[in-house]
């Protein structure tokens, strides 16, 4: 297989959902504002180029964070990744849990529950797991889209401002998943206050698997 000679890239996908037009989801007030601040932060403090940051917002004139668009943009984010590339993924919105729909021996969750990201056109029903699965994005799929394509020595940072964030990408969690490790949820205000240097949280896939590294160097790591 040919080795790519292109320069390494920094790419980001930022998703903010207020659910203003949703009939089933509680409305949120700050995701759009948080995405705007984070975009500016990545450009000014971490050297991301504007053309390499994709934003999905449920507001007029923006690329909508529907199930279809999130799938497409998640795939595009990591497509063609090479060692040395850096990827940043941010999600602010709702997440829920549904029961795993597989045989007990095929379960990947110790608690028997999958975590589910709710897109702007998603519908959730505590009494209808299948409807929730069909209209939302289950953690297994998010892992296939965002994590599995990464080659060794790429860097992937995920900031998930949502419920069930520690296992939303199906990574290691001390009470749920047994195979992966992941960063906990970080509020945007805390993230933006920690930028006096180049350090950043990383989920780095190496030949030994995923590992996490702290957000900042001096006592300001993720909580």
Positions marked active-site: 94, 163
Kindly give, in sequence order, each residue whose CB lies less than 8 Å from that of residue 82, ignoring residues fewer than 6 positions away: 4, 6, 8, 151, 154
> Would the CA dihedral through 132, 135, 139, 141 be positive or negative?
positive
Residue labelled with tokens 């939302």: 136
Assess contact for 99 and 108: CB atoms under 8 A.
no
Q: What is the DSSP letter of 62?
A: S
Q: What is the DSSP letter of 9?
A: -
Instruction: Kindly state the helix (H) or strand (E) to which residue 138 belongs, with its residue range.
Output: strand 137-138
- Exposure letters 161-185 (e unless 16+ CB within 10 A, then b): bbebbbbbbbbbbeebbeebebbeb
Angle between helices 139-146 and 67-78 (to 10 degrees): 30
CA angle 67, 174, 35 (to 5 degrees): 35
How many Å apart are CA 217 and CA 199, to the nearest integer?
7
């Amino acid at each position: 297989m040919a080795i790519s000679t292109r320069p390494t890239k920094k790419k980001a996908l930022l998703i903010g959902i207020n659910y203003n037009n949703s009939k089933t989801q509680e409305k949120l007030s700050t995701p759009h504002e948080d995405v705007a601040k984070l975009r500016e932060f990545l450009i000014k403090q971490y050297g991301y180029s504007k053309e390499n940051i994709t934003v999905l917002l449920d507001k007029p004139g923006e690329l909508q964070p529907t199930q279809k668009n999130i799938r497409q943009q998640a795939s595009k984010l990591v497509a063609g990744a090479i060692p040395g590339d850096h990827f940043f993924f941010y999600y602010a919105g709702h997440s829920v849990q549904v029961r795993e729909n597989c045989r007990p021996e095929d379960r990947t969750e110790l608690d028997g529950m999958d975590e589910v990201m709710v897109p702007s056109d998603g519908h959730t029903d505590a009494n209808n797991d299948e409807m929730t699965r069909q209209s939302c994005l289950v953690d297994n799929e998010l892992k296939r889209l965002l994590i599995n394509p990464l080659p060794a020595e790429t860097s992937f940072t995920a900031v998930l401002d949502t419920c069930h964030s520690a296992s939303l990408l199906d990574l290691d969690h001390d009470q749920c998943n047994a195979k992966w490790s992941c960063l906990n949820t970080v509020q945007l205000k805390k993230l933006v206050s920690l930028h006096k240097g180049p350090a950043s949280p990383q989920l780095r896939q190496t030949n030994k698997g995923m590992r996490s590294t702290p957000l900042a160097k001096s006592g300001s790591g993720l909580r």
